[in-house]
Amino acid sequence: MSTILTVIKKEIIDTLRDRRTLMSAIVLPTLLIPVLLYGFSKLSSTIIKKEKEKKLSIAILNQPSDFSTYIDTSKYKLVTDMDMEKGRDAILGDDLDAMISFDESHNQAVVDNKTAKVNFWYKSTNLAVKDRLTGIFDDYEEDLLDDRIKSLALSKAVLNPIELNRYDIAPKKEQIGKLAGGILPYFFIIFCFMGCMYPALDLITGEKERGTIETLLTVPASRFSILFGKVISIALVGIAASGLTILGLVVALKVIPDIPEDFMEAISNMVQVKYILMLFAMIIPLSLFFAGLISALAIRARSFKEAQSLVTPISFLAIMPAAIGMMPGIELNWTTASIPIMNIALATKEIVAGTIDMGHYALIVLSLIVLAIIAVVLSFRQFSKEGMVVN
Amino acid sequence: MIQIQNLSKTFNLTKAQKKELKTNASSVNAVNNISFDCQPGRIFSLLGPNGAGKTTTLRMIATILKPSAGDIQVSGHSVIQAPELVRSKIGFLTGSTKLYDRLSPGEIVDYFGQLHNMDKALIETRKDALFTKLGIHEFSKKRIGQMSTGMKQKVSIARSMIHDPQVVIFDEPTSGLDVITAASIIDLIRECKEANRTVIFSSHIMSEVDLLCDDLAIINKGELVYKSSMDNFRKESAGTSLTEAFINIVSKHNPVAA
pLDDT in tens, B53-84: 898 999 999 999 999 999 999 999 999 999 99
Q: Indicate yes or no: CB of A211 within 8 angstroms of CB of B98.
A: yes
Contact residues on chain A for B142, CB-CB shorter than 8 A:
none
The confidence score (pLDDT) of residue A200 equals 93
Where are the extended beta strands (E) located within B39-78? 43-47, 69-74, 77-78
Mean pLDDT over all residues of chain B? 88
Q: How many domains does chain B have?
A: 1
In a domain, B30, yes or no: no
| Contact between residue B38 and residue B1 where contact means Cβ atoms under 8 Å apart | yes
Best of A218, A224, A230 to disrupt the B interface by mutation (most B CBs within 10 Å)? A218
- What gap in Å lies between CA A113 and CA B130, rounded to an integer? 105
Residue B247 domain flag: yes
Residue B137 falls inside a structural domain: yes
Residue B85 has pLDDT above 90, yes or no: yes
Q: What pTM does this model have?
A: 0.80
Tell whether B46 is covered by a domain.
Answer: yes
* Nearest-angstrom CA–CA distance, B79 and B87: 9
Q: Which domain holds residue B162?
A: 42-55+83-252
- Give domain limits for chain A: 2-35+171-389, 56-159
What single string gives the DSSP state of each residue in A222-282? Answer: -HHHHHHHHHHHHHHHHHHHHHHHHHHHHHHHHH-SS--HHHHHHHHHH-SHHHHHHHHHH
**Rounded distance, CA B84 to CA B63, Å?**
8
- The answer to whether A268 touches A252, Cβ cutoff 8 Å, is no
User: Could you report the average pLDDT of every consecutive run of 10 residues in chain A (391 residues)?
Assistant: 91 90 85 81 78 86 87 86 88 91 88 89 85 90 89 83 82 68 81 91 89 88 93 95 86 72 65 84 95 93 89 87 82 89 88 86 95 95 80 59
Q: Say yes or no: A387 contacts chain B, CB-CB below 8 A.
A: yes
**Considering only CA atoms, which of B240, B242, B194 is closest in space to residue B218?**
B242
pLDDT, position B257: 47
Do B64 and A221 make contact, defined as CB atoms within 8 angstroms? Answer: no
- Helix, strand, coil percentages (3-state) for chain B, rounded to 5, are 40, 25, 35
If DSSP codes are grouped into helix, strand and coil, which group holds residue A339? coil
Query: What pLDDT is stored for residue A173 in this prediction?
Result: 67
- Single-letter amino acid code for the residue at A291: A
* Domain assignment present for B227: yes
Which chain B residues are Cβ-neighbours of A13 within 8 angstroms?
Answer: 102-103, 107
Q: Which residues contact A365 (CB under 8 A, 6 or more apart)?
A: A281, A282, A285
Amino acid at B130: L
Inside any domain, residue B125: yes
We report the CATH number of the domain holding residue B209 as 3.40.50.300
The answer to whether A10 faces chain B, any CB pair under 8 Å, is: yes
Classified by CATH at the fold level, domain A56-159 comes out as: abc type-2 transporter like fold (3.40.1710)
Nearest Cα residue to B134 out of B93, B86, B100: B93
Nearest chain A CA: its distance from B74 CA (Å): 13
Q: Do A218 and B90 touch (CB under 8 A)?
A: yes
Nearest CB among B11, B97, B112 relative to A211 is that of B97
